Amino acid sequence: MIHVTKTFLPPQAEYQSILKRAWDTGWMTNRGVLVQELEASLKAYLNVPNVLAMTNGTLPLQIAIKALNLTGDIITTPFSYVATTSSIVWEGCTPVFVDIHPEYLTIDETKIEAVITSRTSAILATHVFGNPCHVEAIEDIARKHNLKVIYDAAHCFGVTYKGKSLFNYGDVSTCSFHATKLFHTGEGGAVFCNNTELNNRLFYHHNFGHEGNEAFQGIGINAKMSEPQAAMGLAVIPYLESILEKRHTLVSKYLEAFKNTYIQTLEIRPETQWNASYYPVIFKNQAQLLSVKQALEAQDIFPRRYFYPSLNTLPYIESVSCPVSESVAERVMCLPLYPDLEKASQEQIISIILEHI
């Protein structure tokens, strides 16, 4: 079977060799040497001032909302994974949806100011499929209205915009290190913050609020990454350049195959060095998508409808109209993309799609 993604697994002996260092000490969690080493390695690789590793990619969003003391309304995108919206609701705030750009698929920055009220405390936007939001416009709006900015950068590992890591934008950026991502720790995530004081707050929030062994700086939860997770990340890092190269080769083949069809592909924002994290295609209508999906699945090929449904239609929020997001969500599907996807398999995928459009 061919799935939309496949976990990259480094040689097992290499993973075990790294994990043995924690095994020999008996220190499996609570910010051991491997977690600290992973954070240092990621700081160097990504060229960012701070990295705080966590046990998954959702808790960083929730902790960011808590650390920024956000209340009331948070402006956000309807086109993202559900965690973007559920984190806002979970932390007692109200998501206010702004529709998306029809080509970049990120929040439409030109529509943000129209929904700002006295209740608005922040903007939480997603760099969709690793494609940057219009960060300059969002920063200008945030400064003008005294708002905080959080970026859900779950797909953005290795992406640079205007020469620097996409994680360097906003008050806080978060990332997922889930097994399906191009860099992963099995399950995991991280938070990125350039402000030292805020970074310290994020740190104690992710560790029960501890300040040393016997004092507490404030409220916190347990979001710490474990040593086995960190060991996986350390084992994957040496393969990152090869992973990225192979993914870009596959993307190039998809692009060439669909360039003279009506299929819409993702428009990458200028001055972006993209990471080929996903390969979304947008069909003319939902019926066409479902026809192609059925044809692929009949051959044991399983793409995925990222992101469906549009989050403004979730049952636990007040529904508002976001026509672009709703339309795209009905018509978009991500095709299989991972380093060891075989050439013949990709050609089969392409052939099936071309036959059914």
Q: What CATH code is carried by the domain that includes residue 54?
A: 3.40.640.10
Domain end point (choices 212, 238, 264) = 238
Cβ contact 34:231 at 8 Å = yes
| Mean per-residue pLDDT of the chain | 97
Q: Which band of pLDDT confidence, cut at 50, 70 and 90, is reported for residue 268? A: very high
pLDDT for the residue numbered 143? 98
Residue range 268-281: mean pLDDT, rounded: 98
pLDDT for the residue numbered 102? 97
Question: What does the alpha-carbon distance between residue 211 and residue 253 come to, in Å, rounded to a whole number?
Answer: 52
Cβ contact 76:125 at 8 Å = yes
Instruction: State yes or no: pLDDT of 291 exceeds 80.
Output: yes
- This model's pTM is above 0.85: yes
Question: What is the domain count for the chain?
Answer: 2
More confident residue, 139 or 318: 139
Shared domain for 120 and 71, answered yes or no, is yes
In 3D space, the residue among 61, 105, 85 whose CA is nearest the CA of residue 326 turns out to be: 105
Domain end point (choices 214, 238, 262) = 238
Q: Which band of pLDDT confidence, cut at 50, 70 and 90, is reported for residue 316? A: very high
Q: Which band of pLDDT confidence, cut at 50, 70 and 90, is reported for residue 213? A: confident
Which single residue is written with the structure tokens 């005294």?
A: 146
pLDDT for the residue numbered 217? 78
**CA distances in angstroms from 122 to 94, 170, 221, 347, listed in the order given:** 11, 11, 22, 44
Pairing of strands 215-216, 210-211: antiparallel
Phi-psi region of 209 (alpha: psi -120 to 50; beta: other; left: phi over 0): left
Residue range 86-100: mean pLDDT, rounded: 98
More confident residue, 52 or 318: 52
Which single residue is written with the structure tokens 């998954």?
A: 56
Shared domain for 176 and 246, answered yes or no, is no
Quick: pLDDT tens for 173-199: 999 999 999 999 999 999 999 999 999
Q: Which band of pLDDT confidence, cut at 50, 70 and 90, is reported for residue 208? A: confident
Q: What CATH code is carried by the domain that includes residue 293?
A: 3.90.1150.10
Quick: pLDDT tens for 54-68: 999 999 999 999 999
pLDDT above 70 covers a percentage of the chain that reads: 100
Q: What is the DSSP letter of 222?
A: B
Shared domain for 28 and 66, answered yes or no, is yes
Question: Of 25-29, 117-121, 190-194, 264-268, where does mean pLDDT reach its minimum?
Answer: 25-29
| Helix (H) and strand (E) counts in the chain | 11, 17
Domain end point (choices 238, 265, 280) = 238
Which single residue is written with the structure tokens 């404030």?
A: 218
Shared domain for 220 and 322, answered yes or no, is no
Shared domain for 231 and 311, answered yes or no, is no
Pairing of strands 73-76, 94-97: parallel
**Residue 253, phi then psi, degrees to nearest 5:** -70, -40
148 forms beta bridges with 122
Residue 318: strand, helix, or coil = coil
Cis peptide before 307 (omega within 30 of 0): yes
Q: Which band of pLDDT confidence, cut at 50, 70 and 90, is reported for residue 116? A: very high
Stated as kind and residue range, the H or E segment containing 165 is strand 164-165
pLDDT for the residue numbered 212? 74
Pairing of strands 189-192, 172-176: antiparallel
Quote the radius of gyration of the chain (alpha carbons, Å). Answer: 20
